[in-house]
Amino acid sequence: MAHEMHNMRLLGHDALAGFGNIGEGMAIQQAPDGRRIMWLAHESHKDFTALDVTDPRAPSVILQTELAHPDMRSNSLAVVGDIMYVAHQTARRGLPNAEMRIYDISKPESPRAIGVFDVTAPDSRGVHCLWCVDGEFAHLKTTMPDSPARDPADSQFYVSVDVRDPTKPVEAGRWWIPGTLEGDADDPPERHTEFQGGFAAHNINVYPQRPDRAYAAFKDGGVVILDISDMAHPKQVSRLDYHPPLPGYTHTVLPLFERELLIVTEESLGWGAKDWPKLVWVMDMRVETNIIMLSSMPVPDPSEFAQVGGRYGAHNIHENQPVPTSLISEDLVFGTYFNGGLRVHDITNPFQPKEVAWFIPDEPEHGKELAALLARPIPGMNINDVYVDENRIIYAADRQWGGVYTLELTL
């Protein structure tokens, strides 16, 4: 294979038995027997995969599970110790298994379901993504059976779930953009982007440095900081809605507490860079009620990638998960840009971020079994998610059949 890379070294690769279509769920477990297991959530056709990465030069699949039915996806997961939380979203509203499912993974080859937070309902598609880093509360983007949205695009909002007893998860609180749910006193928000993502939540991150704050991305609603000191009654601290003029779909909000910055990603949705620009932003949160945009990460001109196939633009970043197996960096930002690959930026100067490394894989020679099952196979590679461990080993995952690549910086 001929990979394109700069200031990176490829260590290993695994095509995940031909089902390499990884969503937005990557987490590393330090297993009781000493192995390091990366758990991966899938876009479709599989539920989750356990990848032994004890030696990152030779990753190997030890388990791959089936979905409860074909019209669903896992897409997102989190691991705290030997407990794993998996988000399940259905292809259409009203289907079964719309839920967060909780597993005991102390024996990685034999994960055991121990709890479920079920949101199955006629108007529900379930849980798209989740965040849990403390084993106490999971923070979900989900539909709730008792709260239908005025517009289907807004149906998944922020719900916190008490998982201190993982066998009996219960709702702790919820928040949505006022006016989006049936019965709200506020008027519905104005639809205002050409590439409409709706006013639903996407990622909601909560860190031990500020346990009273949730940092949330609300697609066309922009960046939201919530006061969750009273978990049952979250309150908006601030919201930065920069759509328009920009085309929307705020995806992830990563706080850098020591530097009082936010790293904010959008998600590219249109093939051929049709919804450009979709960027990663550096924002100032020193006054958290007045978030200010400082700069964006420089990336190649979209003309270089528009004809490659698939999407080009921002998506996921390494989110500094506060767990022992994750790197925490306030100077380097690791991001995925679909067919633009994995890109690393140095934000030592937040007004002038610099691109310092990148990796764009070639199509693997093997592992395309999944392509025959996809209604719309994506040509080329589309890097979807990234995780960086405490040893600065980088794990980059492809959206279709590429699987997982292990890399290291050579800076």
Q: Is it the case that residue 367 has pLDDT exceeding 60?
A: no
**Confidence at residue 377, expressed as pLDDT on a 0 to 100 scale:** 62
**What integer pLDDT is reported at residue 41 of this predicted model?**
98
Enter the tokens of residue 303: 């003309």
Q: Is the pLDDT of residue 321 over 60?
A: yes
Picking from 333, 351, 359, the residue whose alpha carbon sits closest to that of residue 265 is 333
Buried b or exposed e, range 294-304, using 16+ CB within 10 angstroms: bbbbebeebee
Tell me whether the omega of the peptide bond preceding residue 255 falls within 30 degrees of 0, making it cis.
Answer: no
Distances (CA, A) of 95 to 40, 99, 291: 23, 11, 39
Question: Per-residue pLDDT tens for 187-199?
Answer: 998 887 666 689 9
Mean pLDDT, the chain, whole residue set: 94
pLDDT confidence of 213, banded at 50, 70, 90? very high
Expressed as residue numbers, the domain containing 244 is 4-409
Q: Answer yes or no: is pLDDT of 1 > 80.
A: no
Residue of higher predicted confidence among 403 and 366:
403
Beta bridge partners of 103: 84, 113
d(CA 222, CA 386): 22
pLDDT in tens, 2-46: 689 999 999 999 999 888 889 999 999 999 999 999 999 999 889
Tokens standing for residue 191: 């639809």
User: 385 pLDDT band (50/70/90 cuts)?
Assistant: very high
pLDDT band at 290 (very low <50, low <70, confident <90, very high): very high
pLDDT mean over 244-266: 95
Q: How many domains does the chain have?
A: 1
Sequence-distant (≥ 6) Cβ neighbours of residue 392 within 8 angstroms: 327, 408, 409
What is the per-residue pLDDT for 251?
Answer: 97
The more confidently predicted of residues 192 and 349 is 349
Cβ-contact 328, 368 below 8 angstroms = no
What CATH number is associated with residue 199? 2.130.10.10
